[in-house]
DNA sequence: AATTTATCAGACAAATTAGTCTGATTAAAA
DNA sequence: TTTTAATCAGACTAATTTGTCTGATAAATT
């Protein structure tokens, strides 16, 4: 698995918030719509709040919102806040100190692939995805299509 | 993490066997040289034996050897035998049924990246890496360099 | 001021992955 | 034929990730 579940949940939630484009979305709404455990999602979003990607508000009318313009937040930002950037920097075989000077047997081939992996997430902003979600009516929910309520 | 630890251990072990190029390498030698837990590695190599990538022999002069010409075994073969091929097929956001007809918001961008990921592992054989290990004296061990014995 | 609705904090449980251990089995060598 | 050296089988433990729960805190409404 490239991304942890916590990380994919974090991405789905920030995408939802980006597409809604309103003040403070309650986590309960996110967990209901995306079919993610409320308490688990709460913990994940607290991380994103602590990292400065989200702003939260307690009480009625509370919830979370993006801390910045969604055009300036990339998938990479969210991934790094939850999973760290090890997946984009570490040796795929786990050899300590693997690099150009002391490469593992596939370093030379893995390195460009790893770079593309990073570029893929760096070059996509939440706004671009939010636009596509709205335009193309893309779903974000983890629920299976034929179990979706209308 | 792209590959599980079990998977990286399996790759390192098969690479070691490929570079040694002799009949039946004992797992004890592999675990000592690669600094991997003997019992854990044993279980992993049993999987590879069950999957037909390795042949094992009990008793003195026993151990494991490659079941085929290392030129015909790819990293992808080993990865699939241990981790399965989900990492090469599933949605990076975990959305069930994500695909061309019902894409997730980054399907279009993730898809080629995922393809390169697979291609990277499909196009590298154990023999090619074994050759490089021998020629360039590349290390396989998980031990840190300054802790290595001579 | 009291109530309601939300996040925050942290303990706890379950599931998965990683790692350990003991004994059974098998094959070669003495 | 006995001993020895290896894998095989499976139970067990530890660590990490995932998920659940309860209460404290804060902000808006009544």
**B120 in a structural domain:** no
CA–CA dist B129, A108 (Å, integer): 11
| Chain B contact residues (CB < 8 Å to A) | 1-3, 5, 8, 11-12, 15, 75, 86-87, 92-97, 102-106, 109-110, 113, 116-117, 120, 123-124, 129-130, 132-133, 138-142, 144-145
pLDDT at A43 over 70: yes
We report the CATH number of the domain holding residue A66 as: 1.10.10.10
- Count how many Cα atoms sit within 13 Å of the Cα of residue A131 in the half-sphere of its side chain: 7
The helix/strand/coil state of A40 is helix
**B102 in a structural domain:** no
**A55 in a structural domain:** yes
CB < 8 Å to A75, chain B = 106
Q: Could you say which of B93, B106, B142 has the minimum Cβ distance to residue A95?
A: B142
| β-bridge mates for residue A25, sequence order | A64
* Helix or strand run (H / E) with residue B107: helix B107-122
Mean model confidence pLDDT for chain B: 95
**B67 in a structural domain:** yes
pLDDT score, position A143: 79
**pTM of this structure:** 0.95
Q: Which domain covers residue A57, as residue numbers?
A: 5-84+125-149
Structure ipTM: 0.94
Q: Angle A93-A98-A99 (CA atoms, 0-180°, nearest 5)?
A: 125
How much is the average pLDDT of B41-62? 98
Q: Which residues in B5-106 belong to E strands, given as ranges? A: 54-57, 63-66
Q: How far is CA B109 from CA A130, A135, B100, B118, B120, in A?
A: 14, 17, 12, 15, 17
**B48 in a structural domain:** yes
**B92 in a structural domain:** no
**A106 in a structural domain:** no
How much is the average pLDDT of B33-47? 98
Residue A61: CB partners within 8 Å, gap ≥ 6? A23, A24
**B17 in a structural domain:** yes
The nearest alpha carbon in chain B to A11 belongs to: B93
Specify the number of domains making up chain A: 1
Band (pLDDT 50/70/90 cuts) for residue A26 is: very high
């Amino acid at each position: 698995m490239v991304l942890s579940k916590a990380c994919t949940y974090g991405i789905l939630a920030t995408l939802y918030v980006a597409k809604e484009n309103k003040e403070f979305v309650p986590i309960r709404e996110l967990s209901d719509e995306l079919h993610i455990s409320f308490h688990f999602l709460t913990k994940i979003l607290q991380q994103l709040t602590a990292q400065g990607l989200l702003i939260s508000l307690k009480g009625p009318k509370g919830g979370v919102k993006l801390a910045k313009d969604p055009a300036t937040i990339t998938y990479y930002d969210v991934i790094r806040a939850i999973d760290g950037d090890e997946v984009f920097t570490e040796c795929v075989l786990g050899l300590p100190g693997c690099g150009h000077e002391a490469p593992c047997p596939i370093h030379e081939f893995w390195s460009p692939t790893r770079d593309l992996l990073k570029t893929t997430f760096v070059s996509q902003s939440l706004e671009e995805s939010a636009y596509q979600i709205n335009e193309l009516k893309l779903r974000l929910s983890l629920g299976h299509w034929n179990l979706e309520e209308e």
